[in-house]
Structure 1
Amino acid sequence: MTSYRVWAVPGLPEVQPGDDLAKLIAGAAPELTDGDVVLVTSKIVSKAEGRIVQAQDREAAIDAETVRVVARRGALRIVENKQGLVMAAAGVDASNTPAGTVLLLPEDADSSARVIRRGLRDTLGVEVGVVVTDTFGRPWRNGLTDVAIGAAGVRVLDDLRGGQDAYGNPLSATVVATADELAAAGDLVKGKAAGLPVAVVRGLPHVVTAHGEGEGEDQDGGARAMVRVAADDMFRLGTSEAVREAVTQRRTVREFTNDPVDPGAVRRAVAAAVTAPAPHHTAPWRFVLLESAGSRTRLLDAMRDAWIEDLRRDGKSEESVAKRVRRGEVLRRAPYLAVPCMVLDGSHTYGDPRRDAAEREMFTVATGAGVQNFLVALAGERLGSAWVSSTMFCRDVVREVLGLPAEWEPMGAVAIGRPAGAPAERAERDVEGFIAVR
């Protein structure tokens, strides 16, 4: 198929709550035929379904429809709404509706599309596809366009993976958003202020499913199939929200999968670590990355032996020694280890024990800030971590096994890997309990 035609449907009346949209569309477009795609602006669907609410304060209506704030800049909010759509203002619209009211999006736009499709089949005897559209802005692009928020009888995604391009190259990532392309085509002829809320695309019958194909909830996800799930969404949050999310989602992970860790991700986390504040314009951080199983085993075996010796020297029973060693095995269960170290290059010596102790504390705090940056950045890479203090108790052993300079002071070890399960919910803490105001 090399061509298609798209036109707006004139003659539709002002839609009122309770109106049968299929009958209104059939009356205005009796020429509909099999294989057409009917594009319906969500605003008239919302009106017909009574999604008009009294709201002197649009912001309160947005709050009520919001599940999650994705990004915020001034008064503008990009949010995930109850329908799972990520968009500005949760889709709450105060235009083309009486003063003091706002329009909410259809509760289930896929269901709305199915109702319209069945109605057109019953009224006109035609098999058409139906797409419910709304206006979206898009990441990385200026301007607005219509996209599909509901669909019935339409192949919303055209999965070309496994095929070949014109040069015989395999297609491995190409999934075309057909329903969005249809919605955008219709928007060219509907217009935002022309009072033409319905358009028809003719000449693309291959995008329309046959009667009974994908009609049921179980067979066809409708436009919902186009919403990227959280696990696959690389841009789930705005900048400031992503920083807060990474900080709050950082957890101590003690069980890891066997999946290999991307060394590049760890190096990006180190790059974040070395942006931490430090005294005297110094850089007190060093990170030893144990990327081979052999290096990890040699270090952990030597540390275990030193620890057992210390515990026995402390008079611990063999049972107590074995129990403590088992508790410390989190590092051995991780597929990747990093040993952060502190160096005191650039530190000042005052000859005053009090001031010298404070100087060392400043460097220790700076090292901790770097490690915190490191852990948060790992969380941003979807890597779990556990910061374990054990290397601080056997620094000589660590330096000897890893061949580190004498001035490098190991400050624990970080176990890194893909979490084996979802982290436990963190108990809420009353922030006021950590604040003193003077």
Structure 2
Amino acid sequence: MSQPPAFRVWALPGLPEVRPGDDLAKLIAAAVDEGGSAGLVDGDVLLVTSKIVSKAEGRVVEATDREAAIDAETVRVVARRGPLRIVENRIGLVMAAAGVDASNTPAGTVLLLPEDPDASARRIRDGVRAALGVEVGVLVTDTFGRPWRNGLTDVAIGAAGVRVLDDLRGGVDAHGNALEATIVAAADELAAAGDLVKGKAEGLPVAVVRGLSHLVPGASGGGTDDSARALVRVAAEDMFRLGTSEAVREAVTLRRTVREFTAEPVDGAAVRRAVAAAVTAPAPHHTTPWRFVLLESEHARTELLDAMRDAWAADLRADGFTEESVAKRLRRGDVLRNAPYLVVPCLVMDGSHTYPDARRNAAEREMFVVTAGAGVQNFLVALAGEQLGSAWVSSTMFCRDVVRRVLELPEDWDPMGAVAVGRPAAPPRPRPERDADAFVAVR
């Protein structure tokens, strides 16, 4: 009977206090020679705490204010709750405080993460190979919290000579079922195993794992090294990239007027989810004054836009514009014609109050128009959250009767423009900076 799979993990004793400029590979090799342990063999994996890598690389900086150091290492705030910040740091990791650590370092200083943890791991691997003649894998590890889970664990932030992701797709399980989505974060599992023996306060910053040489391709003379960057999910695939309040602000910021769309079909369910967000807008008198007409068929879009074009052209000609000017102005409607999906938001005055004077009646209608705008803004922001571009164009307001006739809408449905929806054909241009104070009056 064959032996069941097994591995061994132990902490490496005998490492001195690491100082800037130290050669970590030599310190580890010396600890292996002097520690009376099992030494190192081809296929072993060294798990090296990032703190000692940072110290050796001189990433100890003066910082009377840790928050300022976090600011300097942060490229994006993901979530904030009181003083705690989850951020994306300069090396692309999403973690608390950008990895800036004020523990195990002299007062008045902080430790920054290595500038390039993969390069750090390669230097240690190459140095150990030169000193001891063995082909090992190296992981640089750091402590992370995790969404939805209490407690901390070590993960790999740098790697050399280790297959960081063990791709099992294409295989089968014990019951013969095909594995279609199974990719194991092997490097993180190794890091967590090492942390069980290194501990957080025992002064044992390096551990060794033996028995998993299939994850060290170089030990068998084949394969390629993986970078720990492969463990970081790219933004386009990250469904949980933002905290709640940050997601709202990000969606508002991402809401842009898109004028060129791809031909990719729009998921009607996504639009309906955006409508569900739209109808949460504030409204007067506990009313629900929003209606959204979804033009999902090309025939419906073409029929409406053709009728609107004819109505605009007639108005422009009546105003004395030349045919050239008429054609130029009609081209402004191309953003609607080129979109794969159109929505016509409408206002209904159900529940509005009638007053004995024109002034209050005008104010009543304005109040409903404002709430229609709030609903449309909710709609546009929600579309951005669905990664859909949009353009709100006022065109239907200039030919409301035509829109109601073509779309067979009730007479009391008041079209409030049209929204073109689709996948943006190009990234948005940089938005000009606006100083919020320029739009504020304080009394």
RMSD: 1.5
State how far apart, in whole Å, the 2-side matches of 1:258 and 1:162 are. 33
Residue 228 of structure 1: which of 225, 230, 233 is its match?
Answer: 233
Residue 428 of structure 1: which of 406, 409, 433 is its match?
Answer: 433
Residue 3 of structure 1: which of 6, 14, 17 is its match?
Answer: 6
Question: Which moved further from structure 2: 412-421 or 221-230?
Answer: 221-230
Tell me, which stretches of 5 or more residues in structure 1 are unaligned?
A: none
Residue 23 of structure 2: which of 20, 27, 30 is its match?
Answer: 20
1:164 counterpart residue number: 172
Residue 276 of structure 1: which of 264, 270, 281 is its match?
Answer: 281
2:296 counterpart residue number: 291
Residue 418 of structure 2: which of 394, 406, 413 is its match?
Answer: 413
Residue 50 of structure 1: which of 55, 58, 70 is its match?
Answer: 58
Deviation digits for residues 370-426 of structure 1, max 9, x if unmatched?
000100111111110000111111111111111111111110000000000011111
Deviation digits for residues 114-173 of structure 1, max 9, x if unmatched?
000001100110000000000000111111100000000001112223333333433332
Q: Is the contact between residue 308 and residue 321 of structure 1 (CA under 8 Å) also seen in structure 2?
A: yes
2:254 counterpart residue number: 249
Residues 124, 263 of structure 1: CA spacing in aligned structure 2 closer, same or farther, 3 A cutoff?
Answer: same
TM-score, scaled relative to structure 1: 0.96
State how far apart, in whole Å, the 2-side matches of 1:12 and 1:357 are. 80
Q: Is the contact between residue 148 and residue 223 of structure 1 (CA under 8 Å) also seen in structure 2?
A: yes
2:143 counterpart residue number: 135
Residues 213, 234 of structure 1: CA spacing in aligned structure 2 closer, same or farther, 3 A cutoff?
Answer: farther
Tell me, which stretches of 5 or more residues in structure 2 are unaligned?
A: 34-38
Residue 107 of structure 2: which of 99, 104, 107 is its match?
Answer: 99
2:44 counterpart residue number: 36
Residues 369, 129 of structure 1: CA spacing in aligned structure 2 closer, same or farther, 3 A cutoff?
Answer: same
1:396 counterpart residue number: 401
State how far apart, in whole Å, the 1-side matches of 2:168 and 2:252 are. 38
AA aligned opposite 1:310: D
1:302 counterpart residue number: 307
Deviation digits for residues 9-45 of structure 1, max 9, x if unmatched?
1111111111111111112224100000000000111
Please report how far the alpha carbon of residue 430 of structure 1 lies from its aligned counterpart in structure 2 after TM superposition. Answer: 2.0
Q: Secondary structure at the match of 2:162?
A: coil
Please report how far the alpha carbon of residue 213 of structure 1 lies from its aligned counterpart in structure 2 after TM superposition. Answer: 7.3
Please report how far the alpha carbon of residue 174 of structure 1 lies from its aligned counterpart in structure 2 after TM superposition. Answer: 2.1
Please report how far the alpha carbon of residue 243 of structure 1 lies from its aligned counterpart in structure 2 after TM superposition. Answer: 0.8
Q: Secondary structure at the match of 1:29?
A: helix
State how far apart, in whole Å, the 2-side matches of 1:109 and 1:420 are. 36
Overall identity of the aligned pairs, in %: 80
State how far apart, in whole Å, the 1-side matches of 2:228 and 2:143 are. 14
Q: Is the contact between residue 255 and residue 333 of structure 1 (CA under 8 Å) also seen in structure 2?
A: yes
Deviation digits for residues 341-387 of structure 1, max 9, x if unmatched?
00000000012100000000000000000000100111111110000
Q: Secondary structure at the match of 2:367?
A: helix
Residue 197 of structure 1: which of 205, 226, 231 is its match?
Answer: 205
Residues 168, 394 of structure 1: CA spacing in aligned structure 2 closer, same or farther, 3 A cutoff?
Answer: farther
Q: Is the contact between residue 301 and residue 342 of structure 2 (CA under 8 Å) also seen in structure 1?
A: yes
Provide the aligned length of Structure 1 versus Structure 2: 435
Q: Secondary structure at the match of 2:242?
A: coil
Please report how far the alpha carbon of residue 221 of structure 1 lies from its aligned counterpart in structure 2 after TM superposition. Answer: 5.1
Q: Is the contact between residue 153 and residue 213 of structure 1 (CA under 8 Å) also seen in structure 2?
A: no
Residue 125 of structure 1: which of 123, 127, 133 is its match?
Answer: 133
State how far apart, in whole Å, the 2-side matches of 1:158 and 1:374 are. 42
Please report how far the alpha carbon of residue 212 of structure 1 lies from its aligned counterpart in structure 2 after TM superposition. Answer: 11
Q: Is residue 62 of structure 1 aligned with residue 70 of structure 2?
A: yes
AA aligned opposite 2:415: P
Q: Is the contact between residue 62 and residue 89 of structure 1 (CA under 8 Å) also seen in structure 2?
A: yes
State how far apart, in whole Å, the 1-side matches of 2:132 and 2:105 are. 30
